[in-house]
Structure 1
Amino acid sequence: MWDTSKDYRILVANEAREVYLNLIPTASFRGNWNKKMAIEMGKTMNSDFQSLLYSYLEGNDLPNSPDVAALTEKAEKIIEYLGGPDWNKTFLNGAPKEDRDKTIENIAKVRFFIDSILGLKDRLALGPINDPIMGIDIKVGEIMSVMKHPKADSLMICNVNLGKRAITVVTNDLNVKEGNRVGVSLLPPQTFMDTTSEGMFLGMNGSILKEVDGELGEMPKGIPMDSLNETRNLVEAFLKK
């Protein structure tokens, strides 16, 4: 029997929901959106998560359970309440210059929450795997641009193409270049001196993997297992907050 109460995929998605619910009431998003219903819909997910955590389902029963279907439907409703598919662009465009960095950070946290829910079924379909990396997505990305962090000489800011969308990743590898094919862990967003990073590059010994195999936006192929160690640590740290 699979112990769903310890499943990292469910735990990370639920913790992302907690971050979302703490953020949304005070978020200064500007635009035509229904804050009240966006909050209420997130709250109603609690009963679905509690049922899922203690379902002890496995095999095809877990990803196809009514609770997963309910969570997916509610995440899609939250997108509607936020203003529709382009909610993030609307909020960013409406942000005053002085609030832009904070708005980017908040958008990244909300997007991580929504992606955690919408991707839950596919992650659970991979079966009973007890590993923190199962709680997040790991994708092949291509670095489109690189610049030094304006407030830290030891950091680089990378714009990374994941196929269907682009993200920002802050790294301490000073040798990253445009065109590098990288593995990216899509982790809970972190802000480094006003710059929000939406993930972390896979790497070992202080250097990232720069020639990763696989299709853009899909799981990397043939990566060393040691390159996932830091991702595991960060997922565990997120769940202990």
Structure 2
Amino acid sequence: MWDSSKDYRLRVLEKSVELFIKTAEGANLKGIWNKKKCLTSARSMLPEIQIMYFSYMEPAALAESPQVEDMKLKVKDIIDALGGDQWHVQFLNLVNKDEKEKLVESIAKMKFALNTISTVDERLKLGPINDPVIGIDIKTGEIVSIQKKDNLMVCNVNLGTRAITVVTNDLTVKEGNKVGVAVLPPSVFQGVTSEGMFLGAGEGILKNVEGELGTMPHGIPLDALNETRNLVETFLK
């Protein structure tokens, strides 16, 4: 019997819902959106996660559960309430330069939360794995463009179905590098919001990983996931 109460995917799922609620409550979103509907839909997910915690169902069965299906539908409702698929654009267009940095961080947190909720079934289908890294997405990506900011490289990374910003201190990265990316709760480095972390160990990040864009990379060394494990555990605290 699988102890679903300790499943990292469900624990990260719960924290992601809480992150969305906290961020949506405090974000400076000046556009037209239905805040009440967003928060009501998000809060209604928490009791469903509790049902999943104590179901003791196998991960594959949890992936097909009514609770997961309902949460995926609620994510669609939230996106509609925010203004549609490009909801973030109107909010960014309505803030001044001084407000933009904080708003970019808030939007990134909300996007992370919504993506984590809507893709939890994909991670559950990976089976009974007791490892913090299973709680978040590990994707194969390609660096599309790079901007240098002081001693950091700000990378626009294509994950197949979407793009994210990843900040790294590895100055040897180049456009076209195929990378392994841990999609993590956003962090800010020197005023730039990073939506993930490149996988790597020792000599820097891995720059020629195997796998189709947007899928889990193949053959990643286990020690390349150590920092990801630590960051997931920190998020859960």
Equivalent position of 2:129 in the other structure: 129
Mapped to 1, the partners of 2:170 and 2:26 lie a distance apart of 35
- 1:12-23 correspondence to structure 2 within 5 Å: 12-23=12-23
Render the CA deviation track for 1:48-101: whole Å, top value 9, x for unaligned: 011111111115421111111121111111111111111122222233222111
- 1:187–1:59 CA distance, 2 compared to 1 (3 A): closer
Give the % identical residues.
Answer: 54
Are the equivalent residues in 1 in contact too, given 2:20–2:114 (CA < 8 A)? Answer: no
Equivalent position of 2:43 in the other structure: 43
Mapped to 2, the partners of 1:191 and 1:184 lie a distance apart of 17
- 1:170-209 correspondence to structure 2 within 5 Å: 170-209=167-206
Moved over 4 A (4+): none
Counterpart AA for 1:221: H
Counterpart AA for 2:227: E
Equivalent position of 2:76 in the other structure: 76
Counterpart AA for 1:186: V
Mapped to 2, the partners of 1:141 and 1:63 lie a distance apart of 25
When structure 1 is superposed on structure 2, of 17-26 and 59-68 the one drifting more is: 59-68
Are the equivalent residues in 2 in contact too, given 1:11–1:239 (CA < 8 A)? Answer: yes
Counterpart AA for 2:80: E
Counterpart AA for 2:175: E
Are the equivalent residues in 1 in contact too, given 2:209–2:218 (CA < 8 A)? Answer: yes
User: What is the total number of aligned residue pairs between the two structures?
Assistant: 237
Render the CA deviation track for 1:197-234: whole Å, top value 9, x for unaligned: 00000000150001111111111111111111111111
Counterpart AA for 2:31: G
Mapped to 2, the partners of 1:30 and 1:50 lie a distance apart of 33
- 1:104–1:224 CA distance, 2 compared to 1 (3 A): same
Mapped to 1, the partners of 2:5 and 2:60 lie a distance apart of 17
Question: TM-score, normalized by length of structure 2?
Answer: 0.96
Gaps of 5+ in 1: none
Question: Please, what is the CA RMSD of the aligned residues?
Answer: 1.2
Shift of 1:125: 1.3
Q: Is 1:67 paired with 2:67? A: yes
- SS of the counterpart of 1:191? strand
Shift of 1:155: 1.7
Counterpart AA for 1:108: A
Mapped to 2, the partners of 1:61 and 1:161 lie a distance apart of 31
Shift of 1:163: 1.7
- SS of the counterpart of 2:75? helix
Equivalent position of 1:215 in the other structure: 212
Render the CA deviation track for 1:111-159: whole Å, top value 9, x for unaligned: 111011110111111111101111111111111122222xxx3321111
Question: TM-score, normalized by length of structure 1?
Answer: 0.94
Mapped to 2, the partners of 1:54 and 1:70 lie a distance apart of 17
Are the equivalent residues in 2 in contact too, given 1:173–1:206 (CA < 8 A)? Answer: no
- 1:59–1:47 CA distance, 2 compared to 1 (3 A): closer
Mapped to 2, the partners of 1:191 and 1:215 lie a distance apart of 28
Q: Is 1:139 paired with 2:136? A: no
Equivalent position of 2:155 in the other structure: 158
Equivalent position of 1:238 in the other structure: 235
Mapped to 2, the partners of 1:59 and 1:135 lie a distance apart of 12
- SS of the counterpart of 1:218? coil
Are the equivalent residues in 2 in contact too, given 1:204–1:227 (CA < 8 A)? Answer: yes
Mapped to 2, the partners of 1:44 and 1:109 lie a distance apart of 19
- 1:206–1:92 CA distance, 2 compared to 1 (3 A): farther
Are the equivalent residues in 2 in contact too, given 1:12–1:135 (CA < 8 A)? Answer: yes
Counterpart AA for 2:63: P
Gaps of 5+ in 2: none
